[in-house]
C-alpha cells in the first residue's frame, strides 16, 4: 500500500474523512467532509506529522523552517518537524504566529524560530478552501523578513473551484502568490481508494464524481 493509500485509510479511521450530505461554509452541498478537529490523540498527531514529512520529501521541497498558522497549524508544524528528524534525519526548525502581537516577555508576533532573510519556509496547513489563511500569513512572514516561501503542504486538495473563480484555491495560490501547494492526497486519490475498497464507501463515488462535475476546477488529465 502506498503512503497515499495509507493516509486515506488513516483519515477514515480517525473519523476525519466522512461521507454523506454536508453543507459547507461556502454554501455548497458536498457528499464528503473533512474535519481536522477529529485528530485527538498523541498517536494520531504523530502519524499525521509523518505523512506531512513524506509529502515534503516526495515533492523535494527545500525547507529550513516549518510554519504552522495559528491555531490549527501549530500542532501540525511541530509534529511534521519531529517526523522530519525521526524519519529523514533533517533537523528543521518550526515556527508559528500569534493572533495578536505579544508586548511582554519575549514579545513579538512569532513563537519558535524567528523568520530571517533568505530563510526557506514551508507552510503546514490542514485543508485549503478559499486560500484566506494563506493570504493572512504571507504578509506576516514577508513583513518580518525577506523569506523564501518554498511551498505549502495540505492534507487534501479538494480540486474544486474557489468561490467566484474557475480555479481552485491551490491554483490561485500559485497564480496570485507564487506559492506552490502540495497535497498529501487529492480527491481523485480518495475516489480511487473507494473504488479499490481500500476504505469503505464505494457507493459514494457517483455522488463525489457528480459534485466534481459541477464544482471541480480544471486540473487536466
Q: Which residues are catalytic, by number?
A: 102, 104
| Cis, peptide link before residue 9, omega less than 30° from 0 | no
The answer to whether residues 185 and 8 touch, using CB atoms and an 8 Å cutoff, is yes
CB-CB neighbours of 149 under 10 Å: 21
| Residues 157, 175: Cα–Cα separation, whole Å | 16
| Residues 81, 131: Cα–Cα separation, whole Å | 23
| DSSP H helices in 119-168 | 132-144
Buried b (16+ CB within 10 A) or exposed e, 66-83: bbbbbebbbbbbbbbbbb
Amino acid at each position: 500500500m502506498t503512503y497515499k493509500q495509507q493516509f486515506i485509510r488513516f483519515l477514515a479511521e480517525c473519523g476525519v474523512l466522512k461521507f454523506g450530505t454536508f453543507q459547507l461554509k461556502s454554501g455548497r452541498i458536498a457528499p464528503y467532509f473533512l474535519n481536522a478537529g477529529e485528530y485527538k490523540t498523541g498517536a494520531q498527531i504523530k502519524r499525521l506529522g509523518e505523512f506531512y514529512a513524506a509529502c515534503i520529501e516526495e515533492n523535494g521541497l527545500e525547507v529550513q523552517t516549518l510554519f504552522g498558522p495559528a491555531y490549527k497549524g501549530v500542532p501540525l508544524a511541530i509534529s511534521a518537524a519531529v517526523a522530519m528528524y525521526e524519519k529523514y534525519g533533517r533537523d528543521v526548525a518550526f515556527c508559528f504566529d500569534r493572533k495578536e502581537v505579544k508586548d511582554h516577555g519575549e514579545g513579538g508576533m512569532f513563537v519558535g524560530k524567528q523568520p530571517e532573510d533568505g530563510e526557506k519556509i514551508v507552510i503546514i496547513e490542514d485543508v485549503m478552501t478559499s486560500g484566506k489563511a494563506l493570504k493572512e500569513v504571507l504578509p506576516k512572514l514577508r513583513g518580518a523578513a525577506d523569506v523564501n516561501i518554498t511551498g505549502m503542504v495540505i492534507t487534501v486538495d479538494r480540486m474544486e473551484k474557489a468561490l467566484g473563480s474557475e480555479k481552485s484555491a491551490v491554483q490561485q495560490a500559485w497564480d496570485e502568490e507564487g506559492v506552490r501547494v502540495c497535497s498529501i492526497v487529492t480527491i481523485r486519490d480518495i475516489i480511487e481508494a473507494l473504488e479499490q475498497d481500500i476504505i469503505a464507501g464505494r457507493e459514494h463515488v457517483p455522488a463525489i464524481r457528480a459534485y466534481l462535475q459541477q464544482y471541480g476546477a480544471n486540473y487536466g488529465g
